[in-house]
Amino acid sequence: MNQISSTLKILLADIDTLISLTKEDIELVKKANHDNIKKNNGEKEMLLKRFESNKSFLNDLLLAITNEKPDKSLSEILPKEHLDDLEEFKRRLQELHRLNRNYAKFVTALNEFFSSLLAAMIPMKSEGYMNTGPQPASFLRVSV
């Protein structure tokens, strides 16, 4: 049971850091400070790998406990503080999900803006859903 408690504490700390970085990224996008976003992405990747590993470990621990006592639910097996931590874990995951969805909206809007700006400056040949390259005459006009 100590492993569950310590793993949950690590997971909660990682989620808090991811939430903080995501909030910071949203503000950086608003300010067009893209260099710091790249720095945060590296840190977030490392955190996500560790988070996934710890989450998988927690899953294995909980699965082992439920396999030992298949006739009981997890709420009957775990102490109240573990159940509270699991509930808090779920709440913070939902908050992170909401923030990431908000961040994705900003990134998508910026991507569409810059793509349309580029298309207005350099019209591209279109083959189905793919833009293959600049149209020769248009490219020459832009270069001159």
Spatial neighbors of 36 by CB under 8 A, at least 6 apart, are 24, 28
pTM: 0.75
Q: Compute CA distances 139 → 45, 112, 115, 121, 126, whole Å.
A: 38, 21, 16, 9, 14
Q: How far apart are CA 115 and CA 12, in angstroms?
A: 38
87-118: burial string, b at 16+ Cβ within 10 Å, e else: eebeebbeebeebeeebeeeeeeeeeeeeeee
**Per-residue model confidence as pLDDT tens digits over 117-135:** 777 777 766 666 555 565 5
Q: How far apart are CA 112 and CA 60, in angstroms?
A: 42
pLDDT-derived band at 65 (thresholds 50, 70, 90) equals: very high
* pLDDT surpasses 60 at 144: no
Region of poorest pLDDT, from 7-11, 31-35, 94-98: 31-35
Pair of tokens at residue 84: 């509270």
CB atoms within 10 A of CB 143: 8
pLDDT-derived band at 74 (thresholds 50, 70, 90) equals: confident
- Spatial contact of 58 and 4, defined as CB atoms under 8 Å apart: yes
pLDDT, averaged across the chain: 85
- pLDDT for residue 15: 95
Pair of tokens at residue 54: 């710890």
**Per-residue model confidence as pLDDT tens digits over 76-86:** 999 999 999 99
